A and B are shown apart, each in its own frame.
Chain A
Amino acid sequence: MSFKVGQETFAASVTHVHEILELTKITKIPHAPAFMKGVTNLRGTVLPVVDTRIKFGFPTVEATPDTCIIVLNITVHDKSILVGALVDAVIEVFDAMADDIKPLPSIGSKYNTEFIKGTIKVGDDFILFLDIDKVFSTEELIQVQDSGKD
């Protein structure tokens, strides 16, 4: 499934996607890291919501009608938990063959390759295919752009 964060498009394996929610009331948790937007009520369970823009180091923008929360099922420390990811838009669900996933060139790329499984060609564009478990289980902000490492 592909989705937009800031100006960039990313893809995640649809097996990780639990459901998609409209932007709901999010309750802030005091002293939480900046990318932890808070928690929201998902039919009786408390779902933590991560602001993906902040997590990827993009500037925050105002919410649009397209803004939504993707509920992801991730595995952290051998436990499977639900996390909500606040994204700017969901684009589509598409099929990709294993061969379509090309490894990322390790030099000269803007992005930190740890969290990226590869790139997928959709139409004329290359979309970054994320390793969702890794992306949402770390505590650090993900340097999607390797700034200053040249």
Chain B
Amino acid sequence: MDTIHDKFIEEAKELLLDLEKALLELEQTPQDTKLIEQAFRAMHTLKGTSSMFGFVKVGNLTHDLETVYEFIRNGKTTFTPEIQHVTFSSVDLIHELLATNDELAAEDSPERYKNLIEEIKKLAGTLEDNIPAADQSSAVKIHEKTAQTYFISFRPKETLFSRGANPLYLIDDLYALGKCLVFPHFENIPALNLLEEHNCYLYWKALLVTTQDISAIKEIFIFVEDLCTLEVHAVAEGDLLASGDFTKAIDDIFKNKSPITLGAVTDSIRGEKTNAKGSDKTKKKVVVAKDNSISSIRVPSDKLDGVINIVSELITLQARLTLIAEKNSDPSLVTVTEDFEKLLRQLRDTSLGMCLIPVETLYTRFQRLVRDLSKDLHKDIKLITEGGDTELDKSIIENLSDPILHLLRNSIDHGIEDTATRVAKGKSKQGFVRLKSFYATGSVIITIQDDGKGMDSAKIKAKAVEKGLIQPDAILSDKEGLNLIFLPGFSTAEKVTEVSGRGVGMDVVRQKVEELRGEIDIESAVDKGTTITVRLPLSLSIIDGLLIKIGDTSFVLPLALVHKCYEINHEKLASAYSDLLIIEGEQIPYVNLRDEFALSGEAPAIEQAITMEYEGQKVAFIVDSIVGEYQAVLKPITNLYKGHGHDIVFGATIMGDGSIALVLDTNRIVKQHSNKILIKHY
């Protein structure tokens, strides 16, 4: 019982999200019929299924709301701000009801509920009498969709009732879609002494004429999918039930107690057609609409995790196999292992890809927030989103939602000024917050940019001194000044608003970002605006790497960042004055990993320099030797002791022979290295 219940809640939440999205877009384009359709459909499904699962209040809210939207669909009214407001409030209340199992738990909830029901009834009531004459000119033109006749066979399993489903509601829903002719069948009911009162013995055959498409019909049965045998077939274009002959023919079949099968229906149709149309029509086979293959499937995330785990183990195993193949001189074994490696790489990419979700899913949530918040604060703010199709690992997205929400709140609350101030400064009345996601070699970058009043690093420094977070005489660059806001307990807001100002935000944001092995950066200019950049690694579990050796320790460098490899004479390095190498005419800074890691042993005469990407520049890493490309399955190193060199390592990987290679975060290494150099020079 619980899993179906949970499934319902999950799907209901998704319906609410769809509804919200449609509402937000309708605000901009109230005439869009598709959006009205979307909103109506979401509400309709919600109404039907919520009653089935005992969410009576949700059902009540959606019932009359649905009527209102039906009126919009029929052109009796248009989508007004009032309707939008009521719908939004209902959505919020429904979210609450879903969480509390249909109980009005919060103090003000019963009142809100009562008020909403009244408002909705008023809207629905008044609209009933509304003659569309007034808004005729702007009345919504309903898309004239051609009706189709469908044959539906609904055979519930005997256990249907035990799951709380009432098939009559479903039949009602069928009627709601259009003209319907339903035939209940009672043949399966056993003799009274064998009858189990909790079982469902009935089944139904129906003919439905509707302009909706087949998915709308299937949606009705979505929650009892696994509890019945359902068949839906489009049998004809147009309204067959309008034909007296056809309905009579079907009625006859029913009266004769012959089974109303798809075949029988199509035969009747064919019979219809031979009467009415010419010869070539009869040759035409009845279109049995094959439901287009389901384009997506819901898979519980632990199944996905299971697949990824197995793929990871396979990769480790393949490394061992490759080792064995190399030692063994059998050429056919080598070819097979190479092919195996290629296939495995594809499998890895595909399965990792499965876990990726577009950030679009976050964007809708944020639109709502910006809208509500800017209204509350009486500011005119527009949220611009870009790169919604950028995909991120689902676990990263879940963990990102809160930090980004906080950053957006900051931009809206502290960043963007109110309209009067903006006009006085010569800015446009409407401020914007731009949320952008995009890829950049091996990472995903999310930027939050606003054109507000920016941050004054001098002011921040002053505040930090005041709070005793830094020494008064500390000399900090502008950038370092800005980064002070990440210290716990920091906030320059003059008063604590409900939204922000408590100073617990930014350090938690940074912590969350770092937990995801990401980085966060701020840039700001007074009165121009602020841009916050969050950089995250693409994958948490498997990365393409370059296996290198220093002494007898192996390391892995992220292949995505590798540019080129060069041979270097050790002599040249030893005698260099500056930390710059000249490669192909370019001056490239380098990091000698052996020195950096304080590894023992002598460097070989010929060393390898690997140039890598670092924030748009090239940096070279000096190592002893390069082994080759390597698929590294990242194993986390438990972060027992914070900040002790663990942050330059993404994790460890176990190689074919069982030994461990550390996977290096080259960006962090360069950062640490350059910090050290700065200190050295001062």
Interface residues of A, Cβ cutoff 8 Å to B: 25, 27-33, 36, 39-41, 44-46, 48, 76, 81-83, 136-137, 139
Contact = CB atoms under 8 A, between A and B. Distances in A.
Nearest to A45: B635
| 4 nearest A-B residue pairs (beta carbon) | A31-B645, A30-B597, A27-B660, A46-B652
Contacts of B645: 29-32
B435 interface: no
Given A36-B641, A46-B636, A30 B598 contact: yes
A46 B660 contact: yes
Contacts of A30: 596-599, 645, 648-649, 662
Interface string B631-661: 0000111101110111011011010001111
B654 A48 contact: no
A39 B660 contact: yes
A40 B662 CA distance: 11
B553 interface: yes
B412 to A, nearest CB: 34
Contacts of B316: 44
A76 B640 contact: yes
A46 B659 CA distance: 10
Given A27-B652, A32-B645, A32-B646, A46 B637 contact: yes
B259 to A, nearest CB: 58
Most buried by B among A25, A32, A33, A46: A46
Given A46-B654, A81-B638, A31 B660 contact: no
Nearest to B596: A30
B658 A27 contact: no
B640 A81 contact: yes
Contact of A31 (B597, B640, B651, B652): B597
B437 to A, nearest CB: 31
A33 B597 contact: no
Given A41-B660, A46-B652, 10 more contacts: A28-B599, A29-B662, A30-B645, A31-B597, A41-B654, A46-B635, A46-B637, A46-B660, A76-B640, A83-B638
B662 A27 contact: yes
B373 to A, nearest CB: 34
Interface of B: 313, 316, 553, 596-599, 635-638, 640-642, 644-646, 648-649, 651-652, 654, 658-662
B638 A33 contact: no
Nearest to A33: B644
A57 B313 CA distance: 39
A139 B644 CA distance: 10
14 contacts: A27-B661, A30-B597, A30-B648, A31-B597, A31-B644, A31-B648, A32-B646, A33-B641, A36-B641, A41-B659, A46-B635, A48-B637, A81-B640, A83-B640
B217 to A, nearest CB: 50
Contacts of B649: 29-30
Contacts of B658: 41
Contacts of A45: 635
Contacts of B553: 27-28
Most buried by B among A30, A81, A82: A30
Nearest to B655: A41
A76 B642 CA distance: 12
B160 to A, nearest CB: 45
A115 B244 CA distance: 92
A36 B660 contact: no
Contacts of B598: 30
A137 B648 contact: no
Nearest to B635: A46
A32 B647 CA distance: 10
B52 to A, nearest CB: 40
A30 B598 CA distance: 7
Contacts of A28: 553, 599
A39 B652 contact: yes
B644 A36 contact: yes
Nearest to A140: B641
A25 B655 CA distance: 13
A83 B646 CA distance: 15
A69 B596 CA distance: 28
A32 B644 contact: yes
Contacts of B635: 44-46
Contact of B638 (A25, A41, A48): A48
Nearest to A79: B638
Contacts of B659: 25, 27, 41
Contacts of A139: 641-642, 644
Nearest to A74: B640
Contacts of B652: 27, 39, 46
Given A31-B597, A41-B658, A46 B651 contact: yes
Contacts of B661: 27
Contacts of A25: 659-660
A145 to B, nearest CB: 22
Contacts of B638: 46, 48, 81-83
B531 to A, nearest CB: 31
Most buried by A among B638, B640, B645, B658: B640
B640 A137 contact: yes
A44 B309 CA distance: 12
A85 to B, nearest CB: 12
A46 B650 CA distance: 13
B515 to A, nearest CB: 13
A33 B596 CA distance: 15
B637 A39 contact: yes
Nearest to A83: B640
Contacts of B644: 31-33, 36, 139
Contacts of A31: 597, 644-645, 648
Nearest to A29: B645
A49 to B, nearest CB: 11
Contacts of B660: 25, 27, 39-41, 46
A83 B638 CA distance: 9
Nearest to B637: A46
A35 to B, nearest CB: 9
A138 to B, nearest CB: 9
Nearest to A40: B660
A136 B638 CA distance: 13
Contacts of A36: 640-641, 644
B569 to A, nearest CB: 25
B98 to A, nearest CB: 30
Contacts of A137: 640
Contacts of A40: 660
A102 B135 CA distance: 90
A133 to B, nearest CB: 12
A28 B646 CA distance: 11
Nearest to A25: B659
A86 to B, nearest CB: 14
Contacts of B651: 46
Nearest to B649: A29
Contacts of A32: 641, 644-646
